[in-house]
Amino acid sequence: MATTMITTLDRSSRAAARGLSDISIRNLFIIPTVLFLIVFNIFPLIYSLGYSFTDFRASTNAPANFVGLQSYRDLLNDPYVWSNFAITAKYVIVSVVGQLLVGFGVAMLLNRDIPLKGLITTLLLLPMMLSMAVVGLFWKLLYDPSWGVINYALGLGNFEWLADPKMALYAVALTDIWMWSPFVMLLSLAGLSAVPKHLYEAAAIDRAGPFYTFFRITLPLVAPILMIAVIFRTMEAFKTFDLAYILTSQPTAELISIRLYKMAFQEWQTGRSCAMAYIVLIMVLAITNIYVKYLNKVKER
C-alpha cells in the first residue's frame, strides 16, 4: 500500500482529477530544480573556468586577454597563498577535531535515560541555529580584552584573544567548535541510539570492560555516521568566511576564503580569483573523495 502511494497518483486526488499524469507531476517538481541548478551553479562554474585563463577584471571595460595558465602558476608560486592554505589546514584540523571530541562526548553523555533529556538536547542545539555573522559579533564582544566576559570569568586580565597573532586562529576555531559541536552531537546521538542493545548485553555477559566495549562495539558501529559528520564539517570549515572575517583581521588567521574574497571583490582581479577558486575547489573535491572512499570502506566492514 505504502509503495503504491509513492509511485502512482491517488485516483481521488485533485491532481488526478485535472488529468495530470505521474510523469508530468514528476517533471513539474524536477525541471525547475534542474533549471535552477544549471543557471545558478553549472553555468557560472563553467563560465568562471573560462575566466580563470584570462586576466579579466570586472571593474574595467578593458577586454579580457587570454593568459593561459599564468594565474595558476603565479598563485601556486605565491608564498602568501601557501601560507593561507597552511592556515586553513590548521584551522580545519583544530576545529573539526574539536567538534568531534566535544560533540561525540556530549552525545555519549546524553545517550542514557536522564530527566529533561529532550529539553537539554534542544537547548544544546541552539548555537547552530544562529547566523554565523551574529555568532561572530557576539564572540567578538565575549573575547574583548577590556570588558569581555571570557577574560573576566577565566581571570585572564587583558589577554588579547583576537589581537594576538598566535592566538587569533585558535580563538576563531574555538568559536566554530562552540557553534558546530551540536551538529556532530546530533548525528552521533542518532548513531548511538541505533546500536542494538543486545550487543552491550552480550558484552556485559562476557565481562568486557568499558574501554573494550567502546572501542569494539560503540565506535565501529557509529563510525559511518561520524564520517558523514566529518565530511560535512571539513567542507564547511574549509570554506569558513564570515566568522573569521568578522572576528579578526590578523594575517595569521587569514583563511583561504578571505584571501579569495579580497582578491575578487576588493582588488577586482576577477580572472585570477576564478583560478584561485578552482584551486580551492579541486582541493575540497580531493579531500572529500578520500573521505568518501574511507566511508565506503567503513560501511563494508
Partner 1 sequence: MRKLVTSVLAGIGLTLACGTSVYAQEKSLTIFWAEWDPANYLQELGNEYEKETGVKITVETTPWSDFQTKAFTEFNAHGDAYDLVVGDSQWLGAGSTGGHYVDLTDFFKKHDLGNVMAPATVKYYAEYPGNSGKYWAIPLEGDAVGWSYRKDWFEDPKEKEAFKAKYGYDLDVPKDFKALRDIAEFFHRPDQKRYGIAIYTDNSYDAMAMGFENALFSYGGELGDYTTYKVDGHINSDKAVAALDAYKELYKFTPPGWAKSFFVEDNQAITENLAAMSMNFFAFFPSLINEASNPNAKNTGFFANPPGPNGDQFAALGGQGISVISYSQKQEEAMKFLEWFIKDETQKKWAALGGYTCSQAVLKSPEFQNATPYNKAFYETMFKVKDFWAVPEYAELLQQLNQRVYPYIIGGSGTAKETLDALAGDWNATFKKYGRGQ
Residues in touch with partner 1 (CB under 8 A): 57-62, 80, 144-146, 158, 160, 162-163, 165, 248-252, 262, 265-269
Helix (H, G, I), strand (E, B) or coil at 96: helix
* Least spacing, CB of residue 104 vs partner 1, in Å: 34
Q: Least distance in Å: CB of 45 to partner 1?
A: 20
What HEC string does 200-219 produce?
Answer: HHHHHHCCCCHHHHHHHHHH
d(CA 181, CA 106): 9
Residue type, 47: Y
* Nearer residue to partner 1 within complex by CB, 21 or 60: 60
Measured from the CB of residue 175, what is the shortest distance to partner 1 in angstroms? 15
* 66: three-class secondary structure by DSSP: strand
Considering the complex, state which of residue 73 and residue 117 has its C-beta at the smaller distance from partner 1: 73
Whichever of 239 and 262 has its CB closer to partner 1, that residue is 262
Burial class of residue 211 in the structure, from the number of CB atoms within 10 Å of its CB (0-12 exposed, 13-18 middle, 19+ buried): exposed
Nearest CB to partner 1, comparing residues 92 and 167 = 167
Residue 187: C-alpha distances to residues 128, 181, 217, 229, 293 (Å): 13, 10, 17, 7, 20
Cβ proximity to partner 1, 268 vs 294, nearer residue: 268
DSSP, collapsed to helix, strand or coil, labels residue 64 as coil
Closer CB to partner 1, 163 or 283, in the complex: 163
The C-alpha cell 509513492 sits at 6
DSSP letters of 28-56?
A: HHHHHHHHHHIIIIIHHHHHHHHHTTB--
